[in-house]
Amino acid sequence: MKPTDPAITWLEEKPLGLAERLYLPLFVQGLAITARHMVSRKVTVNYPEVRPTVGNPLIYRGVHRLNRDDAGRVKCVACFLCATACPAHCIDIVAAESPWPDREKYPESFAIDELRCIFCGMCEEACPVDAIELTSLLDLTGKSREEMVFDKEKLLSVYDMTKDAEPMKSKTLAAQGMATIGHGGGAGHGHATGGHA
Ligand code: SF4
Ligand code: SF4
């Protein structure tokens, strides 16, 4: 039954024309698409024998890493902004007083549950010191749930593994004359609070 409310626009279904009722033009159209895909450039690869390449590592959101500063220390200042921004609540940080004089806090422990992560990149956007980044590593496998919780050492080891092929995004973007989105600069120490994220 048609609605009587004038605010509702009722659309009548368009009757099928002769060509549509015959299905032949649509059949030919479908064959044409299949033929076009048969001769177009292949984008599938025989993974894992062949590794797929990531188009632009700057925007790809793969396995996380925790960056190191010039002195080789974890860059993170335990401000909790990434954990606060994370919609999946998969970042757990325990802050402690920093053993170094140039910052107030550092993460005594830092863990990301990669199984809960939805790879949205919000943590990367939220970090004021470019300490957390998503890399172009797409292999994310493990034999247990525990193995998929990446702790600080593992996240730092991802940095060590990827830093040559993928320099820090902020440096790459700065070299290209582009600013990083959402990175306000500054240490952001004032927001830090102790305890668990
Ligand atoms: S990528 Fe998104 S879901 Fe994953 S840890 Fe970062 S903020 Fe959380
Ligand atoms: S936002 Fe950056 S500095 Fe702050 S806790 Fe997360 S990784 Fe560390």
pLDDT, residue 48, reads 85
Residue 92 has pLDDT above 80, yes or no: yes
Query: Residue 124: which H helix or E strand, with range?
Result: helix 122-126
Q: Which two tokens stand for residue 149?
A: 């919780």
Q: Is the shortest distance between the CB of 82 and ligand 2 below 6 Å? A: yes
Cβ 112 under 6 angstroms from ligand 1: yes
Burial environment of residue 101 by CB neighbours within 10 A (0 to 12, 13 to 18, 19 or more) = exposed
Residue 180 reports pLDDT greater than 70:
no
The response to whether residue 90 sits with its C-beta less than 6 Å from ligand 1 reads yes
Q: Is 106 helix (H, G, I), strand (E, B) or coil?
A: strand
The CA distance from 126 to 79, in Å, is 10
Name the architecture of domain 64-196: 2-Layer Sandwich (3.30)
pLDDT for the residue 191: 32
Q: Which ligand is nearest to the CA of 122?
A: 1
CA-proximal residue: ligand 2, atom 4 (nearest): 79
Q: Kindly tell me the number of DSSP H helices and DSSP E strands found in the chain.
A: 6, 6
The pLDDT value given to residue 112: 98
pLDDT score, position 35: 96
Q: Whose CA is nearest to atom 4 of ligand 1?
A: 117
Q: Residue 194 pLDDT more than 60?
A: no
Long-range contacts, stretch 32-37, CB < 8 angstroms, 24+ apart: none
Give dist(CA 11, CA 191) in Å, integer.
Answer: 55
CB 62 within 8 A of CB 54: yes
25-80 pLDDT, tens digit per residue, is 889 999 999 999 999 987 788 888 988 888 788 889 999 999 999 999 999 999 99
| Centroid of ligand 1 to alpha carbon of 93 (angstroms) | 14
> What residue ranges do the domains of the chain occupy?
64-196
| pLDDT at position 121 over 80 | yes
Q: Given the DSSP bridges, would you call strands 132-134 and 105-113 parallel, antiparallel or unpaired?
A: unpaired
3-state secondary structure 101-114: CCCCEEEEEEEEEC
